[in-house]
Amino acid sequence: MNQDYIGKVVVITGASSGIGAALSQEIASRGGFVVLVGRNLDRLTEVMALCPGSTFIQADVTDKGQVEGVCAEALARYGQIDIWVNNAGRGISRNLLDLSEEDLDEMIKDNVKSVLFGMQAVLPYFQEVGHGVLANVSSMLGRIPAAPARSAYSAAKAAVVSMTETARMEFEKSLPQVRIVTVFPGAVATDFGNNSLGGGVDSRAIPNAQGVTEVGQVIADGLMAGPVDLYTRSHGAEAAIGHMKKLADI
């Protein structure tokens, strides 16, 4: 059994389902102590049962005070945080001209503010101890906005990319032992589509959608070592570079 996470305390938001749940199970199987964070108490309880040594904290990560509380409670329970994964987010099915102000606000709240609040909660602790891993889950749509109905979601995930890269730049010299990672999943076979604002295609029905267990394994493999832009598909980086070249040629 791969046990590279033995003794590590890992906080994962959006851990009650999808990528967050799969990543939690993978890290627990490798010996890590996982702090599962989410709003759905029943689902958190179910996932925790599959993650030996884990615990959960029920919280709304779009509320800054609750995110700060998660950080404080995790430290109180375990005395340390080694890795923090901002995974919580939500999609939308709405074409550009149909977007309302409320739609855009919802995408920013769920996908950008939740990440910012997590960063602001844990980075001061990492500054204090001098090391740690921060991972923000974006999307391939944050690099390649290829789905018109996901325009607001793509924009929000692009903001996550920029915010993560800016943080990496800010702390590169002062905190060289703090690793800041951006995760880029593509289509993943989860209930993401069903839970999108306005509904949407069930992501499990998308042809060639990546299995969620595989995604969890890839992320677990890459959190502590390797490129800081972590693509869950082997061709992800190549596709992103190809997209940028295509734009340069227009």
What token pair was written down for 245?
A: 């070249």
Contacts of 174 (CB under 8 A, 6+ apart): 127
Choose, from 5, 78, 125, 153, the residue flagged as catalytic: 153
Cβ atoms of residues 73 and 81 within 8 Å: no
- Least Cα distance to 71 among 127, 22, 16, 31 occurs for 127
Is 5 marked active-site?
no
Q: Please, is 192 exposed, middle or buried when counting C-beta atoms within 10 Å of its C-beta (0-12, 13-18, 19+)?
A: buried
- Phi, psi at residue 12, to the nearest 5°? -130, 120
- Least Cα distance to 106 among 114, 98, 96 occurs for 114
Hey, which residues are catalytic here? 153
